[in-house]
Amino acid sequence: MGKKGVRLGLDLVGGVHLVYRAEFSEEATEEDKARSVDRALEVIRTRIDKYGVVEPVIQSLKVAGKDAISVKLPGFTDIEEAKKLVEQTGFLEFKEVELNDEGNPVYLDDYLEISVPEFFNKDETDERIFVGEGSDGKYYPIAFLVREEDGNLVYKDEEGNPIDVEELREIKEQIVGELPSSSILFQVGSPALLSWITARGDDGTPLIGKLLVEATPNIITKPTGIEAEVGIRWNNEGRVVFDQVAGRLYNSGEYGTPNRALGIFLDDVLLSYPQILQQKYEGTAAITGNFTPEEVYRLANLLESGALP
């Protein structure tokens, strides 16, 4: 990886046990090396957790005195399948909540109740994603709503297989039971079952990871205690697109509502959904919340790792 990152070579050690050996640029400091390894660990864990691998063992270690990452995947018999799972290119993107014509947030229930399916936001033609909370606190995709070539809207799973509407209703009931009003659901802290769409600038440019320059964990000590946040910085294009998105979300609803939420997705997994607090950020922003120091380090690592180096 170009800037002080990890370049990963692959060894296979019996069964499906993958060992990735790290190589660093000459100018990388020990701190750079440690953070790069931590970043790779977080990305690998997120990808494996998404696919429900039972009791994986993912850890850093030394191989002949060099930094490495060991990945053990119980239950896998196909080495190529395991490599594909770990090494797939990650994709970091930012999404917003779909709104209807009245400016209210759209939920999965809203789509399930309409008899002639049409996207509520007709300007956005890409897929909708609906998520449910996993045991680790992340939000994993339960369904995608896509428009087929014949114009019909179809629910699909992550592999692109159609999902029956009744099956989807059952999944929904398992997640939250009977949904309360959208505002109440969101205020108790759950973005589950909202319709998330791509966040775009005024010219349609999507807000994605390649526009992000860096994400930095910041631990601030105050008389009232420790505050932990993630500072982010955009490139020139990202600065423009982010401010356009921020201005639109800021003016679309009150603080604390889904209208103001910006969803941060890595490989379709919702990592965080901070509120937009101002109309312009001019290239830099901070993701705040009731984070622990460990959580901000983890989030910063994932933000900088839209793809394994």
Residues 128 and 219 in one domain: yes
Domains in the chain, number: 2
Residues 160 and 12 in one domain: no
- What pLDDT does 146 receive? 96
Residues 127 and 154 in one domain: yes
Angle at 186 between CA 181 and CA 187, to 5 degrees: 100
Residues 83 and 108 in one domain: no
Based on C-alpha coordinates, what's the Rg of the chain? 20
- What pLDDT does 306 receive? 56
Residue 170 belongs to some domain of the structure: yes
Residue 169 belongs to some domain of the structure: yes
- What pLDDT does 41 receive? 85
Residue showing tokens 């965080």 = 272
- What pLDDT does 116 receive? 66
Residues 170 and 210 in one domain: yes
Residue 308 belongs to some domain of the structure: no
Write out the chain's pLDDT in tens, 309 residues: 333 444 444 344 444 888 888 888 888 888 888 888 887 888 788 778 767 677 888 999 888 788 889 988 887 778 887 887 777 667 899 999 999 999 999 999 999 988 768 999 999 999 999 998 877 777 899 999 999 999 899 999 988 999 999 999 998 888 765 444 443 344 335 788 999 999 999 999 999 999 999 888 899 888 888 889 999 999 999 999 999 999 999 999 999 999 999 999 988 989 899 999 999 999 999 998 888 888 888 888 778 765 344
Which residue range(s) make up the domain with 121? 92-303
CB-based contacts of 146, cutoff 8 Å, min separation 6: 127, 128, 153, 154, 156
Residues 145 and 288 in one domain: yes
Residues 45 and 121 in one domain: no
Single residue among 87, 114, 146 that ends a domain in this structure: 87
Single residue among 47, 67, 87 that ends a domain in this structure: 87
- What pLDDT does 179 receive? 42
User: 300 burial class (0-12, 13-18, 19+ CB within 10 angstroms)?
Assistant: buried
Q: Are 181 and 104 in contact (CB under 8 A)?
A: no
- What pLDDT does 208 receive? 95
Q: 156-162: long-range contacts (C-beta < 8 A, 24 or more apart)?
A: 158/268
Residues 175 and 72 in one domain: no
Residues 216 and 134 in one domain: yes
Sign, Cα dihedral of 26, 31, 34, 35: negative
- Phi and psi angles of residue 146, each rounded to the nearest 5 degrees, phi first: -125, 155
Residues 29 and 141 in one domain: no
